[in-house]
Amino acid sequence: MPDKKSIKKTFIFQSSLEELEKLEECLNSVEGYTMLSEDKQYEIMLVLSEAVTNAMEHGNKLDARKAVKLIVTISTDGITAEIYDEGTGFIPSELPNPLHEEAMLRDHGRGWFLMQHYSSSIEWDDAQKCLRISF
């Protein structure tokens, strides 16, 4: 039986970077989100904008016919976000370490590092092709 104190909302974004402009409004529409501290809202916004951007760019190859689904759940246990795209998935352990010298000057590759830093946990569910992030 689901927790009666949880709030769950689902958002769909087409794979176009302009769609990211809707993310803050979507998050603000989730009951309880605006009650969080400004710092926590900033961290969640940063992490989810990275995750949705990665799903659009790397998962869906910016194909506007493909969608990214974001499910946000706020409960007494915290906040969980699930991000789904229409790509084939990835292997997090194969991502380059952005702290290595050869990666420092790259203009991409720090999103996963930032998401790990600002979330409580982040995991890739290969069976469901879902990125699950907890705060």
Taking only the tens place, the pLDDT of each residue in 58-75 is: 999 999 999 999 999 999
Q: Average pLDDT of the chain?
A: 88
Tell me, yes or no, whether 12 lies in a domain: yes
Flag whether pLDDT at 97 surpasses 70.
Answer: no
In CATH, what number is assigned to the domain containing residue 31? Answer: 3.30.565.10
What pLDDT, on the 0 to 100 scale, is given for residue 3?
Answer: 47
Tell me, yes or no, whether 1 lies in a domain: no
Residues 53 and 114: their CA atoms lie apart, in Å, by 13
Q: What is the mean pLDDT of residues 20-31?
A: 97
Q: Considering only CA atoms, which of 13, 71, 80, 68 is closest in space to residue 44?
A: 80
Q: Residue 89's domain spans which residues?
A: 7-134
Of the chain, the percentage scoring pLDDT greater than 90 comes to 72
Q: What is the mean pLDDT of residues 20-36?
A: 96
Number of compact structural domains in the chain? 1
